[in-house]
Structure 1
């Protein structure tokens, strides 16, 4: 009789554990789905940010060619960046000319 009660308690605990396991697995699946959704949203937002940064860069370049001032706090850094790019282009052009003359 005692053995049967013990076995019955073990079976009840086993059933409870199985229920909890199913609940945890369902929750895990739900969380994985939510994670995938969030990662996709993050990827999309990063794409939007990159596009906006490119547009901002183009606007700065356009503003500098039109003689208007770019955003004040980034003014000096922008000028240095543009000078560096222009110098790189000039060096590349000089290399191309040297190759053509050779």
Structure 2
């Protein structure tokens, strides 16, 4: 899992991405973070194929199926998890089983 906790880390990771959709999503989130001055309040997590739901749970400190917002972009999903004080995790992941199965909660 790529854990990108600063705008510099996101900027450094973008050139290494080979998937055009993922690159576009990362550029868009970086732009949003900068324009809205949310760098201190946002972490971007990019799940890799070998990453598990348990690993995501450990990063978030909460159940991954309990997202606050999600949007599908082709075969990629963008999930947002809000925390206290306006902090947010944005997770980019390819077709995770827990997203497909976990559509029963609020805001989905």
Query: Normalising to structure 2: TM-score of the pair?
Result: 0.19
Structure number with the higher strand fraction is 2
Structure number with the higher helix fraction is 1
Choose 1 or 2 for highest CA Rg.
1
Query: Normalising to structure 1: TM-score of the pair?
Result: 0.20
